[in-house]
Amino acid sequence: MEWQQLEYFQKLANIQHMTRAAELLSISQPALSRSIARLEDELGVPLFERQGRSIILNRYGAMFLKRVNNIMQEYQDGLHEIQELVDPNQGEVSLGFLHTLGTNVVPDLIRLFRKEFPDIHFQLIQNHTHTQLKQLKSGELDLSLLAAMEVEKPIQWTELWRDELYLIVPIYHPLAMKKSITLKELADESFILLKKGYALRITVDEIFEKVGITPKITFVGDEVGTVAGFVANGLGFSLLPDGEEINPRKIAKIHISDVKCERIIGMAWAEGRYLSPAAKQFQKFILDFFEARKKASKEHK
């Protein structure tokens, strides 16, 4: 059974006149007759009653027409949905990002982008770097904003910006008054970090390794907000980027002076996988936005 046969049948069933239906389909009447005959052979029942020059839909044909109409409507609905998705001004972008970027960075980017493309919608998924990489490979995500990690093909990653990581301590702690400190001064302190395997934890472990310190870890958490909350309550120190989780009424942040403390954030996508025009628009917007920010920063210096 071919799609064309269904189209021909639907038209003839609605017109119930072989010559007029053939004219509307821009085919010859014999070609239409042969197509309907093949369809009836495949189904094993006649679909029309032929009375001289007249052709009337029978009960089998009426039953089959309901199904064909549903099939055609589903096809049209699917076609319409896809056309909306691939419209560069009306499509949808599936964006993944780290939890720490959800309080200000991602909302700001989307707000600025939608000033130019107000009808593009977003499917937003917050997750950890490893999970996002899997979602990119599976096609669940178009683009991801995640920390620098070793990636394998087909994943492509490009740096966008860098965040300084600060020592954070309770606001009432004696160290809270310091503007800078060395990690070596903190060799005997207790730390609260994210769980192993998280991108930020990998970065922090590498920083401690550079200065030859094995931190004393008293707690590990799933979220930056949880870690910050434990620090605020005097349960240890941590290394975190500045953000909404760092409540200045409860936590002080201190610059680390003896080693470069930073995390690198970039954008990732799956090379060779289809990106809708809307996703490409957003990808270009992000790249242009951070390139302009880098230039402005250099000019300011």
Domain-terminating residue out of 27, 48, 77: 77
Look at the chain and report how many structural domains it folds into: 3
In which band, very low, low, confident or very high, does the pLDDT at 139 lie, cut at 50, 70 and 90? Answer: confident
The pLDDT confidence band at residue 291, using thresholds 50, 70 and 90, is very high
Identify the CATH number of the domain in which residue 253 sits: 3.40.190.290
Instruction: Give the domain-ending residue among 77, 99, 126.
Output: 77
Provide, rounded to the nearest whole percent, the portion of the chain with pLDDT above 90.
Answer: 50
Confidence of residue 216 (pLDDT cuts 50, 70, 90): very high
- CATH number of the domain within which 89 lies: 3.40.190.10
Within this chain, do residues 293 and 233 fall inside the same structural domain, yes or no? Answer: no
Q: What tens digit of pLDDT does each residue of 236-290 get?
A: 999 999 887 888 899 999 999 999 999 999 999 999 888 888 899 999 999 999 9
Q: What is the pLDDT of residue 88?
A: 65
Q: Are residues 233 and 293 in the same domain?
A: no
Tell me: do 290 and 145 sit in the same domain: yes
Percent of the chain with pLDDT over 70: 96
173 and 258 assigned to the same domain: yes
pLDDT confidence of residue 148: 85
152 and 268 part of one domain: yes
**If pLDDT is split at 50, 70 and 90, which confidence band does 223 have?**
confident
On whether both 273 and 217 belong to a single domain, the answer is no
Q: Are residues 54 and 195 in the same domain?
A: no
Instruction: Note whether 114 and 250 are same-domain residues.
Output: no
- Locate 179 and state its tokens: 């503007």
Residues 203 and 214 in one domain: yes
Residues 254 and 273 in one domain: no
Print the domain residue range for 64: 3-77
Q: Indicate if the pLDDT at residue 119 is higher than 80.
A: yes
Query: Looking at the structure, do residues 148 and 271 belong to the same domain, yes or no?
Result: yes
Same domain, 156 and 268: yes
pTM of the model: 0.69
Among candidate residues 77, 93, 113, the one where a domain is terminated: 77
The mean of the pLDDT values for the chain is 89
